[in-house]
Structure 1
Amino acid sequence: MAKALARHILVKTEAEAEQLKKRLDKGEDFAVLAKKHSICPSAKRGGDLGEVRPGQMVRVIDQVIFKKPVRVVHGPVKSQFGYHLVQVFFRE
């Protein structure tokens, strides 16, 4: 079965997600920004979602994790929870 290692930052607005993505593009640390800004419980772990398998996450995030390129920050991706910035480290 497929699996991946991923992390994300979840915020309430698209504007906030865009601002954080610009900061990431300039080289700021993903984990530090996740701890400070993410509203997901994973923020305590720097946004680390751990090992993820297909169907564990909401559909739009699942598609990013299992279909988009690895080691790239994707987003903002809108879900019913807010706006996500998602990065996949490993996928098999």
Structure 2
Amino acid sequence: MAKAMARHILVKTEAEAEQLKKRLANGDAFDVLARKHSICPSAKRGGDLGEVRPGQMVRVIDQVIFKKPIRIVHGPVKSQFGYHLVQVFYRD
């Protein structure tokens, strides 16, 4: 079965997600921004979601993790929880 390792930042607004994405593009550290801004419990781990399998995440995040290119920050991706920035480390 497929598996992947990913991390994310979850915020309430698309504008906040866009601002954080710009900061990431300018060299800010993903884990530092996740700890400071993410509203997900994973924030305390720098946004690390650990190893996940298909179907463990909400559908829109699952699609990013298992279908989009790795090592790129994707988003903002809207879910019922808010707006996500997602980065996949590996997938197999």
Structure 2 length normalisation: TM-score?
A: 1.00
Residues 37-76 of structure 1: pairs in structure 2 closer than 5 A: 37-76=37-76
Q: What stretches of structure 1 of length at least 5 have no aligned partner?
A: none
Aligned mates of 1:30, 1:20 — CA distance in 2 = 9
The residue matched to 1:54 in structure 2 has which SS? coil
The sequence identity of aligned pairs, in percent, is: 88
Root-mean-square deviation (CA, aligned residues, Å) is: 0.2
- Give the CA deviation at 1:55: 0.1
Q: What stretches of structure 2 of length at least 5 have no aligned partner?
A: none
- Give the CA deviation at 1:21: 0.1
Structure 1 length normalisation: TM-score?
A: 1.00
Q: Runs of 4 or more off by more than 2 Å in structure 1?
A: none
Partner of 2:32: 32
- Give the CA deviation at 1:58: 0.2
